[in-house]
Amino acid sequence: MHKNIILKIIEHRIITLIAMICIVMFAINGSFLSFTNIISILMKISIEGIIVIGMAYLIILGEIDLSVGEIMGLSCFFVIFFQQFGIVPGVIAGIVCGLAVGIVNGILVVKAKLPSIAVTLGMMIFLNGIIFVLTKLDSISGTNPAFSKIAVTSIAGIPAFIFVMIILILIFELILRKTSYGRNIYAVGGNAQASKYANINVDRIKISAFILTGALSGLAGVFLVSRFNIASGALGATTPLFVITAVLIGGVSLSGGEGNVFKAFQGLLLVGVVENAMIMLKLYSSIKLIVMGLLLILTLIIDSIHTAKEIYK
Amino acid sequence: MNRIKKFTKNNPQLTLLILLIIIFSILMPAFRGKNNIINILKQSTTISIISYGVALVVIGGNLDLSVGALLSLTLGLSISMSMHNVALAILVPLGFAIVVGFVNGYIVGRFRVNSIILTLGMMSVINGIVQTYRKGNIVIGMFGGAYQAITDAKVFGIPSYIVVYISIAILYQFILTRTVYGRQLILMGTNRDAAEIAGINIRKVTIISFVICGVSVAVASILMGARLLQGSTNTGAGLEFDALTAILIGGVSIEGGKGNILNAMIGVFLLAVIINGLTLLNVPFAWRNVAKGLMILLAILTEQFLRTRNA
């Protein structure tokens, strides 16, 4: 009986950890669990939350994308440029720009058979340069006041962004669980060679995941512009660190074939709660960098021990 | 003619470098000036030394992205220690760099984690430490002291820092090609499992490569600190990508096991000549990262192309 409870806790360790932090923070400062603060945590992670979906797909496939932050930054520029023609052109421009970069990433990785980590690293630096060129090393902002209204739209006191994030997470979790496409993703991530023999179109699945990640990063840029009305080359620098940390903490293994979108979101939630707690405890933002880095390193070590156990079982 | 063909086929990067130098010299009189050449050599000191260290790690099949952050840390330490004692200004940064290199190497060697992601985390940790203890302030060193003399020294009329980075290149090349350790590193980069079965102590080889990389960063930061006497909390930001760009376009393979320090050296000069040429051609500063990103992508594409053609 006790053993079962312990096993359950280990299985749901992220949720347990989040609950523990919430309880401690609630004891220190009662406003931590207030409606406003919970909304502010969710709002804070809603931008990265969208990218996390794509990144989870990629990591389950055994690939990675380091260029997500810069795709978001580039999307911000296009959103700001096209919003003068209206809200819809702005939103479409952001998503299409991310989609285009995702196609290039995917083709380079799949067709040229290059390691995704190297391709997306090069893409990250390249896009960063493009943003600097487009914004002339400055930060720019849009002129369409209607665009900022998206961010403040809320339903029953809950901002629309949070709804969009939750709906997207549900949809993509369902696709992963219930469709053959989703099952193929696990198969390819577990063993790409075997999947090829099983007549799965590995190339197409991998490219689709890169395109999905690109498009979602583009959508994140739409959210970012709507909230902060800014585009600059400095926006996406820490985004890949944040997103990858969240996905790995959630228990999606870097070796592929394991994890799901819910787990990745739990990781993101943990990172968001820790970040919020640190702000409430008035810790410097530089301490945040240390904690984020240490969290990532620890997760990597735990992930590796876990994988080793699976192999030698 | 046949020999030239063979040379270009075997050394595509060196050929490109020579071609670029010839083209730029013809196009731009300013490029072939003595001052500009010395300038290129001077400016590539930091990136050269760091690239040689990173090259060793990459040849071993790993990657260190924490070098830029580490440089910001050791640069600040070196300059602030130089206020007390020159020996401390050299030893303290070296000590910190060895610790960071050891931690990176230990975690990669012991737990087999992905070194890119690990050092991304380490980069965040070190950046956080630098920003916390310096609170965003710039460190400024003392003018005209013994510390500054490190760079003013000349050996046979050549500035000391150029001597240092060339001797480091020779030393690392010797380690890589003439010692048992170097062979073990190359084998580990080519096929880690095979190296392990062959009885190579993976943990030790990995740790040493990361420690050498850390030491390189510390040496670079001491020379930089003595020359500039000034360091901000983000002096090193982006250096890791510059070093990576340099070694990849020089012909070191990101998959490990292929390339040597000479490749890294050629890569550094290729990058320096291209950036210098862009500056002389009045291309705006903003285009720099575009060029670097394209060069990385082109470098890995050509390498893959050559490999599949040869195979």
The complex scores an ipTM of 0.84
Judge contact between B254 and B263, C-beta under 8 A. no
The strand pair at B158-159 and B154-155 is best described as antiparallel
Judge contact between A226 and A148, C-beta under 8 A. yes
From start to end of A23-94, where are the E strands?
none
* 3-state SS assignment for residue B137: coil
The strand pair at A158-159 and B139-140 is best described as unpaired
What backbone phi and psi angles, to 5 degrees, belong to A40?
-70, -35
pLDDT at A220: 95
Tokens of A113: 């058979």
Q: Do A133 and B113 touch (CB under 8 A)?
A: no
Judge contact between A242 and A292, C-beta under 8 A. yes
Q: Is the confidence at residue B174, as pLDDT, over 70?
A: yes
Q: Do A304 and B111 touch (CB under 8 A)?
A: yes
Q: Chain B closest CA to A5's CA: distance in Å? A: 29
pLDDT at B141: 79
From start to end of chain B, where are the E strands?
139-140, 154-155, 158-159, 230-231
Q: DSSP code of A33?
A: G
Polymer length in residues for chain A:
313
Tokens of A148: 């900022």
Name which of B129, B132, B293 is nearest A129 (Cβ-Cβ): B293
- The per-residue pLDDT for range B101-111, each reduced to its tens digit, is 999 999 999 98
Helix, strand, coil percentages, rounded to 5, for chain A:
80, 0, 20
Q: Do A129 and B288 touch (CB under 8 A)?
A: yes
Chain A 92-131, CB below 8 Å of chain B: which residues? 108, 112-115, 117-119, 121-130
Q: DSSP code of B142?
A: P
- The per-residue pLDDT for range B66-106, each reduced to its tens digit, is 999 999 999 999 998 988 888 999 999 999 999 999 999 99
Report d(CA A217, CA B151) in Å as an integer: 46
* 3-state SS assignment for residue B155: strand
- Residue at A270: amino acid letter: L
Tokens of B249: 């376009």
Report percent pLDDT > 90 for chain B: 45
Polymer length in residues for chain B:
311
Q: Which residues pair with B283 in a beta bridge?
A: none
Nearest CA in chain A to B118: A297
Q: Which residues pair with B154 in a beta bridge?
A: B159
From chain A, the residues in CB contact with B124 under 8 A are 238, 241, 289-290, 292-293, 296
Of B188 and B278, which is predicted with more confidence? B188
Q: Which residues pair with A159 in a beta bridge?
A: A154
Sign, Cα dihedral of B149, B150, B151, B154: positive
Report d(CA A127, CA A100) in Å as an integer: 12
Tokens of B310: 């040869």
HSE (side-chain half, CA atoms, 13 Å) at A305: 6
Distant-in-sequence contacts of A226-229, Cβ < 8 A, 24+ apart: A226/A147, A226/A148, A226/A150, A226/A151, A227/A47, A227/A148, A227/A151, A227/A161, A229/A80, A229/A141, A229/A142, A229/A147, A229/A148
Give the burial string for B220-244 (b: 16+ CB within 10 Å, else e): bbbbbbbbbbebbbebbbbbbbbbb
- The per-residue pLDDT for range B232-258, each reduced to its tens digit, is 888 888 888 889 889 988 989 888 888
- The greatest distance separating any two alpha carbons of chain B, rounded to the nearest whole angstrom, comes to 61
Run of H or E residues at B236: none
What backbone phi and psi angles, to 5 degrees, belong to B230?
-160, 135
Q: How far apart are the first and last CA of chain A?
A: 24
Q: Chain A closest CA to B301's CA: distance in Å? A: 7
Judge contact between B95 and A285, C-beta under 8 A. no
pLDDT at B67: 96
| Of A91, A105, A120, A92, the residue nearest B117 (C-alpha) | A120
Please, is B247 exposed, middle or buried when counting C-beta atoms within 10 Å of its C-beta (0-12, 13-18, 19+)? Answer: buried
pLDDT at B142: 76
Radius of gyration of chain A measured on its C-alpha atoms: 20
pLDDT averaged per 10 residues, chain A (length 313) = 72 84 89 89 92 95 93 95 90 96 96 88 92 88 82 83 93 94 93 90 95 96 91 86 87 84 92 88 83 87 76 57
Cβ-based contacts under 8 A for chains A and B? 140
